[in-house]
């Protein structure tokens, strides 16, 4: 895989460089609530522009249905990129049409443009190779060189991620090079004890990575909504908590295999419960109760790990040489259910080992809860991509960058 440093050494002045970034930021209307993904691509964009390239930044945002939708416009992301660069950033109001063609043609050396949301064109996400290829051909006409730096999308077989690199000289940007280097430390050269903390809502989202980690991790800590399927699999009452009943057999098998393999698979010993899900608009006080995980009332739902579990998980993380965390421990967006996630984040901060926050909601949580990002070994920009890499899958966007 060639890197951007090799590209820069070859010279990029005057060349149109297509940077596939991940500007898929959360929005409240047109206000960006977390610009972490934009900041993550800055080193690549700054290096290229500083060397005289004409930089064309492209990304998706959200899940529009193959047609323009103002709610998913990249205009706010383009404006924020300009603020962070301290320079004007041109914005094309389409992907491969008149606006994109004219905007790119109007770039001078060292200038940057952002084209509109790639998913406004159905060819970007099409499962039909020909349709994707046709869109990739039109994107290729906008550039001389391709730089892949959207790690959050490399697990997608999409036109701008998979098909376009085959049509242009291609290189990995700084972000992708960093992300791959970190993930190799979690797979190829792991320092032990290796502890993994997994949360989030659905156990089905984590089954494949748990399956892989049962042969690699020393401890796996389970939290979030998925924990209640584990508790149910152990025979406990879980009230109205989130349950994936169709996953119970798989979870029981994992519990048995963990014991057989000598892997500590740790589930909550207590939990915060309430009669209903909290009001996420007003964030009104929820007044939860703390109960033992094996004594949940029938009419209550679990919404965060309890204080004893927080202490337990902190102790399990304290001596870790390597930590990977993906998924919050509870409904962290509500202050009454944020302490479990905060406790795990703090345990990573306190850990002397190499700590990785695996993107997605975990990355959002550490920012929302006010942690210094530099206190962690690495905060990934791609939760789904990180998980699939750890599962041992071939990621289309990384394969496309190989020579």
Q: Which residues are catalytic, by number? A: 37, 202, 360, 384
Query: Alpha-carbon distance 122 to 138, whole Å?
Result: 13
What tokens were used for 324? Answer: 């990977």
H helix intervals, 52-97: 75-85
Query: Alpha-carbon distance 87 to 200, whole Å?
Result: 38
**Which of left, alpha, beta for 110 (phi over 0: left; psi -120 to 50: alpha)?**
left
Q: How many CA atoms lie within 13 A of 131 on its CB side?
A: 11
Our separate counts of H helices and E strands in the chain read 14, 17
Query: How is residue 295 annotated by DSSP?
Result: -
Query: How is residue 9 annotated by DSSP?
Result: H
Secondary structure (H, E, C), 156-214:
CCCHHHHHHHHHCCEEECHHHHHHHHHHHHCCCCCCCCEEEEECCCCHHHCHHHHHHHC
Strands (E) in 13-103, as ranges, are: 16-20, 27-28, 31-32, 54-58, 89-91
Across the strands, what pairs with 198?
222, 326
- Report, in this order, helix, strand and coil percent for the chain, each rounded to 5: 40, 15, 40
The structure tokens 């071939």 sit at 394
Question: How many CB atoms within 10 Å of residue 170?
Answer: 21
Query: Alpha-carbon distance 145 to 150, whole Å?
Result: 15
């Amino acid at each position: 895989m060639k890197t951007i440093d090799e590209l820069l050494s070859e010279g990029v002045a005057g060349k149109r460089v297509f940077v596939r970034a991940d500007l898929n930021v959360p929005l409240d209307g047109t206000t960006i609530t977390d610009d972490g993904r934009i900041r993550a691509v800055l080193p690549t964009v700054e290096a290229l522009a500083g060397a005289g390239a004409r930089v064309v930044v492209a990304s998706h945002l959200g899940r529009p249905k193959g047609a323009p939708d103002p709610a998913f416009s990249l205009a706010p992301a383009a404006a924020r990129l300009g603020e962070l660069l301290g320079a004007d950033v041109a914005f094309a109001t389409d992907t491969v049409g008149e606006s994109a063609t004219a905007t790119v043609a109007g770039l001078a050396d060292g200038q940057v443009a952002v084209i509109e949301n790639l998913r406004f064109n159905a060819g970007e996400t099409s499962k039909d190779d020909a349709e994707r290829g046709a869109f990739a051909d039109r994107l290729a006409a906008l550039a001389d060189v391709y730089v892949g730096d959207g790690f959050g999308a490399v697990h997608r077989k999409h036109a701008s991620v998979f098909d376009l690199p085959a049509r242009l000289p291609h290189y990995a940007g700084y972000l992708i090079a960093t992300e791959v280097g970190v993930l190799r430390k979690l797979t190829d050269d792991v320092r032990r004890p290796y502890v993994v903390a997994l949360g989030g809502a659905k156990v089905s989202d984590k089954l494949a990575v748990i399956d892989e980690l049962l042969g690699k991790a020393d401890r796996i800590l389970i939290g979030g909504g998925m924990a209640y399927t584990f508790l149910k699999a152990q025979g406990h009452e879980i009230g109205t908590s989130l349950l994936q009943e169709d996953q119970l057999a798989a979870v029981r098998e994992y519990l048995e295999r963990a014991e057989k393999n000598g892997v500590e698979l740790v589930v909550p010993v207590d939990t915060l419960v309430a009669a209903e899900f909290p009001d996420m608009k007003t964030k009104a006080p929820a007044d939860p109760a703390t109960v033992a995980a094996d004594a949940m009332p029938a009419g209550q739902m679990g919404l965060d790990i309890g204080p004893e579990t927080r202490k337990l998980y902190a102790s399990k993380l304290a001596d870790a040489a390597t930590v990977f965390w993906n998924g919050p421990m509870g409904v962290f967006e509500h202050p009454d259910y944020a302490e479990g996630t905060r406790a795990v984040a703090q345990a990573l901060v306190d850990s002397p080992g190499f700590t990785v926050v695996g993107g997605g909601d975990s990355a959002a949580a550490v920012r929302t809860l006010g942690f210094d990002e530099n206190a962690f070994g690495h905060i990934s920009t791609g939760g789904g991509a990180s998980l699939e890499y750890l599962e041992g899958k071939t990621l289309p966007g990384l394969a496309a960058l190989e020579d």
